Amino acid sequence: MTAPLHDDQIFFTREAIDAAALIGHVRAAEDGAVVTFDGCVRNHSHGRPTLYLDYEAYESMALAKMREIAAQIHVKFPIHRVAMAHRLGRLQIGETSVFIAVSSPHRPAAFDACRFAIDTLKRTVPIWKKEYFEDGAVWADGELPPVPAEAPARKSAS
Amino acid sequence: MPAVSQTVRVKVLFFGRLKEIAGQSEDSAEIAAGASIEQLFAAFASRYPELAKFRASLVASRNQEFAAWSTPLQADDEVAFLPPVSGG
């Protein structure tokens, strides 16, 4: 067995996300920067006051996709460690739904990698949120992940 | 060779609004070996007509990787129909 390439921490949780613990995990003596993204539940959506949100995920696939994102940013940017946690279940206004921390020896890499990670997560990881309002609930508008091209129609056998 | 119509069982997962329409998060289906994800979706859309309305705004996965609708299925595959994602 070879040791894991990077000491990253990537997980889902149904409890409040402990941002300080994630920052502590990525921060080491050789780092000059830790950049974080704290995604939190907004109190309005499309001009309507939001009551709360429910998050769900295709957990096994989503976790694999989040690990792929971490692997990608290690290749693209000279960073040290990544921590990425996403909350599931019911979230109240102001709570953290996703938290990403990236450490690096020099700040540009951590900024770029953290931005790339949250943008890619929002576009490609199978997670969904339902927004609840005074007068009903809707599944949030989302993005369709890129998928492999369709196979060309097969010619009939001759 | 004689044509043998062989069927295989696949697992199907529903998320978000599709789970609400199907009234369940997981089901299984018996389909012809080699049938595509598109054909599998059509089978469920005939059982739950409301599903068909969302076909254009879905992507599919096979064994936890995004997959083209034309992908042929094999026994014990895990297929999911995924609405636009909205994590973060």
CATH number of domain containing A52: 3.90.1170.40
β-strand partners of A143: B85
Determine, yes or no, domain membership for A56.
Answer: yes
A100–B contact, CB cutoff 8 A? no
The mean pLDDT value for A14-31 works out to 98
Q: Does domain B7-82 have CATH number 3.10.20.30?
A: yes
Q: Which domain holds residue A96?
A: 9-136
Look up the pTM and report it: 0.93
Instruction: List, for chain B, all residue ranges whose pLDDT scores fall below the cut of 70.
Output: 1-4
Which residues, in sequence order, are CB contacts of A24 under 8 Å at separation 6+?
Answer: none
Minimal Cα–Cα distance from B38 to chain A, Å?
A: 11
| Nearest C-alpha neighbor of B15 from the set B24, B6, B7 | B24
Is there a domain that residue A94 lies in? yes
Mean pLDDT of chain B: 95
Q: What does the alpha-carbon distance between residue B81 and residue B16 come to, in Å, rounded to a whole number? A: 10
Give chain A's length: 158
> pLDDT value at position A1?
45
Q: Sort out which chain B residues have CB atoms less than 8 A from A60's CB and list them.
A: 64
Cα–Cα distance between B11 and B54 in angstroms, integer?
20
A156 vs A110, higher pLDDT:
A110
Residue pLDDT, tens place only, A54-82: 999 999 999 999 999 999 999 999 999 99
What is the model's pLDDT at position A150?
A: 87
Q: Residue B4's pLDDT is what?
A: 61
| pLDDT (0 to 100) of residue B50 | 97
**Pairs of CB atoms within 8 A across A/B:** 93
Burial bucket for residue A135 (CB in 10 Å: 0-12, 13-18, 19+): exposed
Residues from chain A that touch B61, judged by Cβ atoms under 8 A, are 58, 61, 126
Q: With bands split at pLDDT 50, 70 and 90, how would you rate the model's confidence at A151?
A: confident
| B-chain residues near A139 (CB < 8 A) | 16-17, 83, 86
Whether residue A107 lies inside any domain: the answer is yes
Tell whether A142 is covered by a domain: no
What pLDDT is recorded for position A6?
A: 87
The answer to whether B86 contacts A127, with C-beta atoms less than 8 Å apart, is yes
Name the residue among B13, B66, B88 with its Cβ closest to that of A145.
Answer: B66
Q: Which pLDDT value is given to residue B69?
A: 97
Whole-number average pLDDT of chain A: 93
Question: What pLDDT sits at residue A88?
Answer: 98
Is residue A153 assigned to a domain? no
Inside any domain, residue A145? no
Residues of A in contact with B87 (CB under 8 A): 55, 57, 62, 86, 97-98, 121-122, 125-129
Total number of domains constituting chain A: 1
